[in-house]
Amino acid sequence: MTGADQALGRGLAVALGRAGADVGLLAGDLDEIAGAAADVEDVGARATRLAAVFETRPEVEAVFVEAARALGPVDIVVHTAVDPVAVESAPLADLDEDRWEAIWEGTMRSSLLCCQAAFTQMAGRGGRIIFSTPTVSMSGAAGLVAYTAAVEGQRLLAKSAARQWGSQGITVNCVAPAPAAGGVDETGGRAHLPLNPPPLGGPGDPETDLGPVVVFLASDAGHFVTGATISLDGGVWMAP
């Protein structure tokens, strides 16, 4: 579980732990995931904390090897990590190259490295890769051009990976939480997000509302679902 230092990753980790998975918790700062580890252990699963910054392939591959050494073969990778810089709202006219690099390239680099390291662990054995891709990439959002580009990039990386790695028994899917559940500030309506209220309420609790769907995708029951995006926003975004 990447992004285990955020509410979304922490909640999904607990849901997976409750379903019987041992969970490797990844974040930049180990101190920030002590609480998540305790939560996972409280529901009877094993947890291990791993520091990861997703900059280079050898580093990410090594973290995944470390996870396998601690907990056994890696069967499920859930990538929820998001750089807080990425979800800060700013008009395109004000974005400089460094910011574009950090948001677009940073998000895509971590996603690609995560996929590749997952593939190394799962090749020939099968597995599950699940991305969190907030619905803003499908709706678009003013002030979030670079971030929505990156999220849609993740969503299509997942589809390509699903097409290419399906023969290896690897499924790759996305769950799309409400923007607020994914850490996005909705900027008081200036983002011009869809106005529909969530029929089921929102934004949803990561562990109890979103967790069961991630558990399903990660389980044997989800074996025939790949390349899909499941909206988990309480019913705001209903396309297609």
Q: Where on the chain is the footprint of another protein (CB under 8 A)? A: 57, 91-93, 95, 97, 100, 104-105, 108-109, 112, 115-116, 119-120, 123, 137-146, 148-165, 191-192, 227, 240
Instruction: Report the phi/psi class of residue 123: left, alpha or beta, with left for phi > 0 and alpha for psi in -120 to 50.
Output: beta
Cα distance between residue 60 and residue 205, in whole Å: 29
CB closer to another protein out of 8 and 162: 162
Cα distance between residue 232 and residue 74, in whole Å: 25
Residue length of the chain: 240
Q: Cβ 127 to another protein, closest distance in Å?
A: 13
CB closer to another protein out of 45 and 150: 150
CB closer to another protein out of 11 and 183: 183
Q: Cβ 105 to another protein, closest distance in Å?
A: 7
CB closer to another protein out of 27 and 158: 158
203 near 177, Cβ under 8 Å?
yes
Q: Cβ 138 to another protein, closest distance in Å?
A: 8
Q: Cβ 218 to another protein, closest distance in Å?
A: 20
CB closer to another protein out of 39 and 121: 121
Q: How far apart are the first and last CA of the chain?
A: 28
Task: Give DSSP secondary structure letters for 22-40.
Answer: -EEEEES-GGGGHHHHHHH
Cα distance between residue 139 and residue 151, in whole Å: 11
Q: Cβ 40 to another protein, closest distance in Å?
A: 29
Cα distance between residue 6 and residue 184, in whole Å: 12
